[in-house]
Amino acid sequence: MGQLSGPTDPTADAHWEHNHPRKGFFTDTSICIGCKACEVACKEWNHNPQDGNLELLGSSYDNTGSLGASTWRHVAFIEQGQERIAEARESGRALVSLGMPRIGPPAAPDLAEADTTPPDTADFRWLMSSDVCKHCTHAGCLDVCPTGALFRTEFGTVVVQDDVCNGCGTCVAGCPFGVIERRSNGTIKVATSREDQHDNHPAVPNVGIAQKCTLCYDRLVDDQTPACAKACPTTSIKFGDHDDMVETARERVANLHAQGMTEARLYGANENDGVGGIGSVFLLLDEPEVYGLPPDPRVPTADLPRMYQRAGLAVAGMAAAAALAFLGGRA
């Protein structure tokens, strides 16, 4: 058993003996155009079945909804007016002035005097963000998996072994980001005219098993870039060594701040956070909950020693109660 919380190298923690660098994403939402090429590339490469029934969700241009068993990249669309933009600028500026302790340059610039005249249209904006599994340093899903189906790869990522998972669903509740999901039988209603065509489609694979992004493990072992990053036309999704991704993210957020975009902030680049940092770092332009991300996630297992302690005390109490009940000896 490795560390349950705090900064660590997850690959070494999982007892991989070689010196393989941790891989990860940096998703720069400031240059995402919402084309959803990542969603499509992910589905195609991983043979993920259709999710839902092609319905319109009525939430801007997002008809995918959320990450799930069959959706491992999800592009969020948020439409915002002037007031919300101003709030985002202010909350971002407050973050910078907290003076986060960090390692190495670039130093946080003093933004008190920064020109915040919007470089884009002032009236409204669209936030677009491609969400993905975070491949946490301390992964709640992996910790609570009873079968060992979820494991830490040599790249520091978290992957489900389809032939081991028995679909107990504990990981679904264990993920602080709501990423992993058990795949339901995925019966899809199809248009009658295309019935024959769909009859020939393969059955939905891995029904009843927990599914999520593998960071294209099958591509990584061949030294290939994950499908989503490969397909992204604007390089909003970057892939590489985790350390390089974090450094790139820090440089990018400093650049945006220098341009007056104080709303820019990083999500998941701090190894002191509740999950020990994440493998998929994001640059966001508003508070995380606006994108459907938790504002202060904490891996539940961090408190597990305490929970076992409390349970032990309760067990002792139960034994004492039973002993007390039988005191007085034979009837």
Partner 1 sequence: MVPEAEFTSYYGRPVVKPAPWGDDVAIYLFLGGVAAGSALLGLGGQLTGRPTLRRNARLGALAAVSAGAVALVKDLGRPERFLHMLRTFKVTSPMSVGSWILSAFSAGAGVAAVAEIDRMTGSRLPLGPLRKVLQAVEGPAGVEAAVFAGPLAAYTAVLLGDTATPTWNAAHEELPFVFVSSACLASAGLAMVTTPVRETGPARKLAVLGVLGDVAAMKVMEYRMDPIAAEPLHQGKAGAMLKWSERLAVAGGLGTLLGGRNRVVAAASGVALLAASALTRFGVFEAGLASARDPRYTIEPQKNRLAARRAAGVTDDAITTGS
Select the residue interacting with partner 1 from 268, 279, 280, 285 (CB under 8 A).
268
Nearer Cβ to partner 1, position 233 or 312?
Answer: 312
Q: Which string of b and e fits 180-207 if b means at least 16 CB within 10 Å?
A: bbbbeebeeebeeeeeeeeeeeeebebb
Question: In whole angstroms, how close is the CB of 243 to partner 1 at the nearest point?
Answer: 16
Instruction: Name residue, tokens 């599914």.
Output: 211
Q: Which string of b and e fits 53-73 if b means at least 16 CB within 10 Å?
A: eeeeeeeeebebeebbbbbbb
Nearer Cβ to partner 1, position 67 or 227?
Answer: 67
- Which residues, numbered 158-177, are part of the site for partner 1 (CB under 8 A)? 164-170, 172-177
With residues binned 3-state (H G I as helix, E B as strand, rest as coil), the percentages for the chain, rounded to 5, are 35, 15, 50
Select the residue interacting with partner 1 from 81, 119, 208, 233 (CB under 8 A).
208
Using CA atoms, how far apart are residues 247 and 251, in angstroms rounded to an integer? 6
Parallel, antiparallel, or unpaired: how do β-strands 23-28 and 280-284 relate? Answer: parallel
212 contributes a contact to partner 1 by CB under 8 A: no
Question: In whole angstroms, how close is the CB of 152 to partner 1 at the nearest point?
Answer: 12
Nearer Cβ to partner 1, position 179 or 237?
Answer: 179
Q: What is the DSSP string of 112-158?
A: TT-----SS-SSEEEEEEEEE---BSS-HHHHH-SSS-EEE-TTS-E
7 contributes a contact to partner 1 by CB under 8 A: no
How many CA atoms does the CB half-sphere of 55 hold within 13 Å? Answer: 8
**Interface stretch with partner 1, choices 17-25, 48-56, 208-216, 233-241 (CB under 8 A):** 208-216
73 contributes a contact to partner 1 by CB under 8 A: no
- Which residues, numbered 10-49, are part of the site for partner 1 (CB under 8 A)? none
Instruction: Provide the token pair at 148.
Output: 């060992």
Question: In whole angstroms, how close is the CB of 82 to partner 1 at the nearest point?
Answer: 16
Binding mask 292-311 for partner 1 (x = CB under 8 A): xxxxxx--xx-xx-xxx-xx
The amino acid present at 177, given as its one-letter code, is: F
Nearer Cβ to partner 1, position 119 or 148?
Answer: 148
4 contributes a contact to partner 1 by CB under 8 A: yes
250 contributes a contact to partner 1 by CB under 8 A: yes
Nearer Cβ to partner 1, position 190 or 304?
Answer: 304
